[in-house]
Structure 1
Amino acid sequence: MNPLQRTAHVHEHAFSLSAKSAELDALGAWRSLERVQQPTWPDEDERAAVGARLRSAPPLVFAGEVDQLRSRIAAAARGEAFVLMGGDCAETFADSTADRVRNKIRTILQMSAVLTYGASMPVVKVGRMAGQFAKPRSGDTETRDGVTLPTYRGDAVNGYEFTEESRTPDPHRLWQMYTTSASTLNLLRAFTTGGFADLREVHAWNQGFISGPGYMRFERLATDIDKAVRFMAACGYDFDALRSVEFYAAHEALLLDYEEALSRIDSRTGEIYDCSGHFLWIGERTRQVDGAHVDFLSRVDNPIGVKLGPTTTVDDALRLIDRLDPDRTPGRLTFITRMGASRIRKVLPALVEGVRDSGAQVAWVTDPMHGNTITSSNGYKTRRFEDILDEVTGFFEVHRGLGTVPAGLHMELTGDDVTEVLGGTGEIDEVGLERRYETLVDPRLNHQQSLELAFLVAETLAGA
């Protein structure tokens, strides 16, 4: 490159960065659009100060990791892999401990082993963690005994305790969300690259859990995996690749103040990434095509998910595709369906057909949790395990009938032995819910129920 060319290149690069900086500034366009599910911060100056601090903080994830996940999701959309997303309904600061994080990772690793071994298919492992600290709610306020206070919107916004002080939104919690997410990601990377996730340790993943049919079935599978590993070792196979696994972090991009503050320009490509997580999704309540959330996420380069409920029309889906994936980039857009067991077979076919016939390529993932929520006779928000299984089965039936690809599973689960979902081999009944109901928002599958579901999905994939 001669000096004249070099000078021109430098000016072109500077212009490119300047243009990208302007695009970064344009991320704030969401503030002028319809905004839903956003807290009302009591002090805007305080909110702005926290936002400035977050803007100067290091990114939580890196562009190269995000790009890698996009390619993995693209493979799943083609039927060459399967996406498994799982984790808490809403993380809490108090429960973001090493033991709780390890148990969630271990459960997802076990489910992945079941799916990979049973279906002979790579599994893309994604945790609902390191950022899932906020939840959309059906109302802005809650009333108890004549007292009305703001609704609990997750630890990122306010406290669960029903007092005025606790329930008042506090922007400093956004900084605590950042620091807690950073420590969770540190643990996640340590567990998944330091030998804990080594497939040769598959038996150890079951240690510390209570006995039950799901565990015994996993032990039998672990024995089969051990035999296969020993056989490959005898053949001289190098197992260094088994010491670590790819594991990604995802959350709902709900709090746009936080998401905007953590967006960065990648120094390699000049593209803009939301560096709060690898994969971000838009909820059923916030997917307005001309709304703030869709506008914001249309401007970042992460792989994006959108939750689609039973009222979604084909036109809704196609408009979301045009807005969020205008270039039809493989792995860019995932539709996460949450229909309910009684409706998925009726509603999903038209959506899948409409998207398929448009020529768009999205990854179809099922969320069998949110469409199946009920209230027990003793007042607990819960779900029936049989309904969850039925929605998963219906999801596969629809795709099998249309010749399309069921690309993944999106679950609210925990690695702990909670009693929040009715049924399963543990036969949790309504009285059983009282034993260990710990969630502050939505009920989660416990460890054994998660394994049961993984075996069902593995058998379904193997038979496809």
Structure 2
Amino acid sequence: MTGQQAVLAAAAQQPTWSDPVALAAVTAELAIRPPLVMADECQALTARLAMVAHGWGMVIQGGDCAETFDAVRYDNVAGTVGALRQLAGQVAAASGREPVVIGRMAGQFAKPRSRPVEQIGGRELPVYRGDAVNDRTFTAAARVHDPSRMLVAYQASANVLAYARRAAGGGFFVSHEGLLLDYELPLTRPAGDGHFAASGHMLWIGERTRDPRSAHVIYAAGIRNPIGLKVGPSTTPEQLMEVVRVLDPERIPGRLTLISRMGADRVDAVLPALVAAVRAGGHPVVWLCDPMHGNTVTAPSGHKTRHVDRIVAEIKAFFMVHRAIGTHPGGVHLELTGRMVTECVDDRNVMPVDVPRCFESACDPRLNPAQVHRVGELLATLL
């Protein structure tokens, strides 16, 4: 067994591909495709993040929960970029510094799931794992794990990246969860005396795959891109430091971003010990607040939703913890869109009964532009 095969064999949250021969052909094709991003761009992002790690400026990271192939259009991408730039403008006006803007896009086509199957009307099928793996349509044929979809994801990512750069006028970074290792490994390329993931400027490791001995952490430790790590409320300081030491053994500023996702009611109880442990360990990380994932509830319609009041509360609590300890609150990680969806509740324009009226997300609820503006108002006040 090769080293690459050993990594894949130990990986969690991976598809059960329908055709091993087709999978081999797809990964061979990905290995010769042009890189989506370049090593010097990844290094430039690390340098920008290093400034934030040292207490200068902020990071605005955001985009779709799960990108879909049918949404890869210039208007959609430009709308998301516009929402991010709006938020960045509010932060810049309040702080006097341009934030680092990172799109959650051009690669967010695979999703971890809590269960391998789902049931509708008494019928059970494999769960939807993102457009890079299968289709949302609830049929047996659509839910097959089809490796050819990774080639579609590659081209869709290339298109999104081109649209984002055009909409932003350059200087725009992209990121995604580095979940699908059959996609990431063939797109890993040599650079200098190491390797980098050519699929995106920044990859993050999710809550379900962050064990220090996991295949995802082993892979991330071997690339030179800046790496993100989701940190949930069940994380202990000892667990966090174990994985931090694996991912950032040389204590490089900007190398590691820790993305706190606690839930508004748990920040004060959990986050201080984690922040203190990382500071005591001497790791110059960037701390971001993901106020989305810990605040998901169910609307009367059965849709997932989030209340903007809880999102705002978690951001406030995140800032207060860092200020009490004397560390730098580095920014936010949001699921958002430029479309006027009704996926999150805000007690102004979107009530719980309104959620299904315009719920377009393939997975979790996103903030619409008006709600993004409200988050921007909060950040401006905190700054």
User: Is TM-score (shorter-chain normalized) higher than 0.5?
Assistant: yes
Of 204, 225, 237, the match for 1:302: 225
Q: Is the 8 A contact 2:92 2:98 kept in 1?
A: yes
Shift of 1:146: 2.4
Of 21, 43, 68, the match for 1:45: 21
CA RMSD of aligned residues (A): 1.1
Q: Is the 8 A contact 2:299 2:353 kept in 1?
A: no
Greater Cα radius of gyration, structure 1 or 2: 1
Of 85, 92, 98, the match for 2:74: 98
Are 1:30 and 2:7 an aligned pair?
yes
- The equivalent of 1:324 in structure 2 is 247
Q: What is the distance in 1 between the residues matched to 2:241 and 2:276?
A: 11
- The equivalent of 2:32 in structure 1 is 56
Shift of 1:192: 2.2
- Secondary structure of 1:264's counterpart equals strand
Of 83, 108, 118, the match for 1:132: 108
Q: Deviations over 1:219-277 (max 9, x none)?
A: xxxxxxxxxxxxxxxxxxxxxxxxxx5210000001001000100012xx232000000
- The equivalent of 1:273 in structure 2 is 196
Are 1:365 and 2:342 an aligned pair?
no
- The equivalent of 2:186 in structure 1 is 261
Q: What is the distance in 2 between the residues matched to 1:147 and 1:32?
A: 30
Match of 1:146, as an amino acid? G
- The equivalent of 2:319 in structure 1 is 396
Q: Deviations over 1:122-166 (max 9, x none)?
A: 200100000001111110011222221100011110000000000
Q: TM-score, length-normalised on structure 2?
A: 0.98
- The equivalent of 2:176 in structure 1 is 251
Of 54, 67, 85, the match for 2:61: 85
Shift of 1:430: 1.5
Question: Which 5+ residue runs of structure 1 have no aligned equivalent?
Answer: 1-24, 194-244
Match of 2:85, as an amino acid? L
Q: What is the distance in 1 between the residues matched to 2:150 and 2:377?
A: 38
Q: Deviations over 1:6-45 (max 9, x none)?
A: xxxxxxxxxxxxxxxxxxx845541243x21111001111
Shift of 1:424: 5.2
- The equivalent of 1:224 in structure 2 is none
Match of 2:355, as an amino acid? L
Identity of aligned residues (%): 45
- Secondary structure of 1:156's counterpart equals coil
Higher helix share: 1
Q: TM-score, length-normalised on structure 1?
A: 0.81
Shift of 1:121: 2.2
Are 1:457 and 2:382 an aligned pair?
no
- Secondary structure of 1:435's counterpart equals helix
Of 362, 366, 377, the match for 1:444: 366
- The equivalent of 2:355 in structure 1 is 433
Q: What is the distance in 1 between the residues matched to 2:381 and 2:152?
A: 42
- Secondary structure of 2:273's counterpart equals helix
Q: Is the 8 A contact 1:27 1:299 kept in 2?
A: no
- The equivalent of 1:231 in structure 2 is none
Question: Which 5+ residue runs of structure 2 have no aligned equivalent?
Answer: none
Match of 2:340, as an amino acid? D
- Secondary structure of 1:60's counterpart equals coil
- Secondary structure of 2:91's counterpart equals helix
Q: Is the 8 A contact 2:301 2:356 kept in 1?
A: no
- Secondary structure of 1:113's counterpart equals helix
Q: How many residues are paired up?
A: 382
Match of 2:232, as an amino acid? G
Of 312, 336, 341, the match for 1:418: 341
Of 282, 292, 301, the match for 2:215: 292
Shift of 1:381: 0.6
Q: What is the distance in 2 between the residues matched to 1:447 and 1:351?
A: 32
- The equivalent of 1:352 in structure 2 is 275
